[in-house]
């Protein structure tokens, strides 16, 4: 075997670990600042609401950059886009780590937010570069890196900051960012042969402005007041920009996000589920982290440190990663259509557990493990549904849009938890009553019930439509598990090789 072949074989074997590492690094870095908000407020002499921008800016930039990166990554420059974004993340990590003041830290955190667009591109790379047998588990694992990384980032941040100071966590982010960039340079395949399409600049500007407005409304509602004219005006502007963007995308020849693909009920299911599940997931995480750190004098809570709070989230990360192994088994033993509602049901159990069993720390560890299993099952299957339902040249854009909807869901869940707890905070008190957590948890139960119902209804309608058109989409009918598995592999194989692009009457056209 010649040297060139050896090099290609090594790169192929290393591709999945590098893509997973890249996604995990971005997820960890994006969550690095969360436990440090109170400390940053003290160190940099800013208010807590201003210190919260060290988190908000990352999500804002990520939500704006993700769809644009997804569209650019669907062309011949995907490798350059990934390497460029990784380099920007490294620069932002270094800038946030340097003791230059809070303003520069926020700028650095904003640059780190560009990395949130890397996961969809990693999924698109796995689809194009891997065989169908390797693509399916790789796509599932990459999908949950954004979930698992949050649970890893919290304890790492707490431990490093407690031991070495507030800026040490960002230096840690710089080190792992440099490793991820180097690995990507060595392993990522070239995409120079892919077709080039013009970038929808107006669509990118409209979507970015609309998402930025919406996320500002969700993140600043508590500070500005939910009924303030400024907040209501911003919400109205965001809605108007969203409507303008939708009309523009439907009329342009080369849209930033091909919304026509959302008419496919499988894609619609993944998008709606990603949005609502994101709300429920961050609702629970926000409740748990705040509950654990609440002093026991409030009549509840444990007064835990940042490190202990992070450790409570660790079972969430571990279980979400393990769920990627569970999904194929569950799909074989039941049907692909049942994976999403089963994941929602498991997540519902975690929310019920938090509602009625939170008197001991070990109960919260169990709650987060159950939550990780449920959310992992839900998020692991969504990219596979999208990959098997859109043309190969639309993969990056379609998954990027799904990722943006998740970010909107995350922000909504975080804001929802704050709003419910604020409503249960007596006048003159700093801490909410214990009933506030109960109400928020029951609200989360309702969200998971709605999410499960949506997946069942939409997938059943998709199965009915598929049975009348192409047998390749009968994977969601669930009639025969063995036959379904073969059809699913065929569907993923078509998606991975781009054969669906040559079938105008097949999945891509529906």
Give the H/E segment covering residue 426: none
189 and 230, same domain (yes or no): no
Lowest mean pLDDT among 72-81, 155-164, 370-379: 155-164
Distances (CA, A) of 190 to 21, 73, 187, 390, 400: 19, 12, 10, 22, 20
40 vs 322: which has the higher pLDDT: 322
3-state secondary structure at position 195: coil
pLDDT per position as a tens digit, 443-479: 999 999 999 998 888 777 766 665 555 443 333 333 3
Classify residue 192 as exposed, middle or buried by CB count within 10 Å of its CB (0-12, 13-18, 19+). exposed
CB 452 within 8 A of CB 280: no
Q: How confident is the model at residue 191 (pLDDT cuts 50, 70, 90)?
A: confident
Angle at 483 between CA 480 and CA 488, to 5 degrees: 115
Average pLDDT over residues 352-360: 93
CATH number, residue 168: 1.20.1250.20
% of the chain residues with pLDDT over 70: 84
386 and 367, same domain (yes or no): yes
189 and 233, same domain (yes or no): no
Return the residue matching tokens 């210190």. Answer: 51
Between helix 132-143 and helix 118-129 the angle, nearest 10°, is 170
| pLDDT of 418 over the 70 cut | yes
Residues contacting 253, CB < 8 A, separation 6+ = none
Angle at 269 between CA 265 and CA 275, to 5 degrees: 145
Residue 3, pLDDT score: 45
222 and 360, same domain (yes or no): no
Q: Can you tell me the distance from the alpha carbon of 486 to that of 484, in angstroms, rounded to the nearest whole number?
A: 5
Query: For residue 245, what are the domain limits?
Result: 200-255
435 and 315, same domain (yes or no): yes
Residue 465, pLDDT score: 61
371 and 395, same domain (yes or no): yes
Average confidence score pLDDT of the chain:
79
Q: Is residue 2 part of a domain?
A: no
Average pLDDT over residues 408-434: 82
Give me the number of domains the chain comprises.
3
Q: Is residue 410 part of a domain?
A: yes
Q: Is residue 361 part of a domain?
A: yes
DSSP for 3-28, written as a single string: HHHHHHHHHHHHHHHHHHHHHHHHHH
Residue 37, pLDDT score: 66
| pLDDT of 90 over the 50 cut | yes
| pLDDT of 336 over the 90 cut | no
Distances (CA, A) of 416 to 102, 184, 310: 27, 37, 21
Residue 362, pLDDT score: 94
339 vs 51: which has the higher pLDDT: 339
pLDDT per position as a tens digit, 219-252: 777 778 888 999 999 999 999 999 999 999 989 8
Lowest mean pLDDT among 89-98, 156-165, 314-323: 156-165
């Amino acid at each position: 075997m010649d040297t060139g072949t050896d090099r290609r074989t090594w790169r192929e074997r290393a591709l999945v670990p590098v893509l997973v590492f890249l996604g995990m690094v971005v997820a960890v870095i994006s969550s690095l600042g969360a436990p440090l908000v109170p400390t940053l407020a003290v160190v940099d002499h800013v208010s807590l609401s201003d210190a919260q921008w060290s988190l908000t800016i990352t999500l804002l930039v990520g939500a704006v950059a993700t769809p644009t990166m997804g569209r650019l990554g669907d062309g011949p420059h995907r490798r350059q886009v990934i390497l460029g974004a990784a380099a920007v993340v490294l620069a932002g990590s270094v800038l946030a780590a340097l003791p230059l003041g809070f303003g520069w830290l926020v700028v650095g955190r904003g640059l780190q937010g560009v990395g949130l667009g890397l996961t969809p591109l990693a999924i698109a790379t796995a689809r194009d570069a891997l065989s169908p047998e390797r693509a399916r588990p790789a796509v599932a694992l990459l999908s949950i890196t954004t979930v698992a990384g949050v649970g890893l980032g919290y304890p790492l941040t707490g431990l490093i900051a407690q031991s070495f100071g507030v800026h040490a966590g960002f230096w840690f982010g710089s080190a792992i960012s440099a490793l991820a960039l180097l690995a990507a340079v060595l392993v990522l395949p070239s995409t120079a042969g892919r077709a080039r399409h013009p970038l929808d600049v107006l669509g990118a500007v409209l979507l970015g402005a609309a998402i930025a407005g919406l996320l500002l409304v969700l993140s600043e509602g508590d500070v500005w007041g939910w009924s303030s004219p400024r907040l209501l005006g911003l919400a109205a502007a965001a809605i108007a920009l969203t409507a303008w963007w939708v009309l523009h995308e439907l009329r342009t020849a080369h849209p930033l996000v091909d919304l026509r693909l959302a008419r496919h009920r499988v894609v619609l299911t993944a998008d709606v589920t990603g949005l609502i599940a994101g709300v429920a997931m961050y609702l629970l995480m926000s409740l748990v982290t705040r509950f654990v750190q609440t002093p026991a004098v409030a009549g509840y809570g444990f007064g835990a440190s940042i490190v202990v709070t992070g450790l409570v989230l660790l079972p969430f990360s571990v279980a979400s990663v393990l769920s990627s192994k569970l999904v194929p088994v569950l799909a074989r033993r039941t049907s692909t259509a049942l994976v999403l509602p089963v994941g929602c049901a498991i997540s519902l159990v975690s929310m019920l557990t938090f509602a009625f069993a939170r008197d001991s720390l070990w109960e919260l560890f169990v709650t987060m493990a159950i939550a990780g299993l449920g959310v992992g099952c839900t998020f692991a299957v969504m990219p596979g549904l999208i990959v098997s339902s859109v043309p190969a040249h639309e993969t990056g854009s379609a998954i990027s849009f799904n990722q943006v909807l998740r970010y909107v869901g995350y922000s909504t869940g975080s804001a929802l938890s704050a709003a419910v707890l604020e409503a249960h905070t007596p006048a003159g008190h700093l801490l909410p009553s214990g009933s506030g957590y109960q109400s928020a948890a029951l609200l989360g139960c309702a969200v998971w019930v709605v999410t499960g119902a949506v997946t069942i209804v939409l997938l059943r309608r998709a199965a009915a439509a598929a049975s009348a058109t192409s047998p390749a989409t009968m994977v969601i009918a669930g009639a025969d598990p063995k036959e379904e598995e073969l059809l699913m592999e065929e569907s993923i194989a078509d998606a991975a090789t781009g054969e669906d692009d040559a079938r105008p009457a097949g999945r891509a056209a529906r």
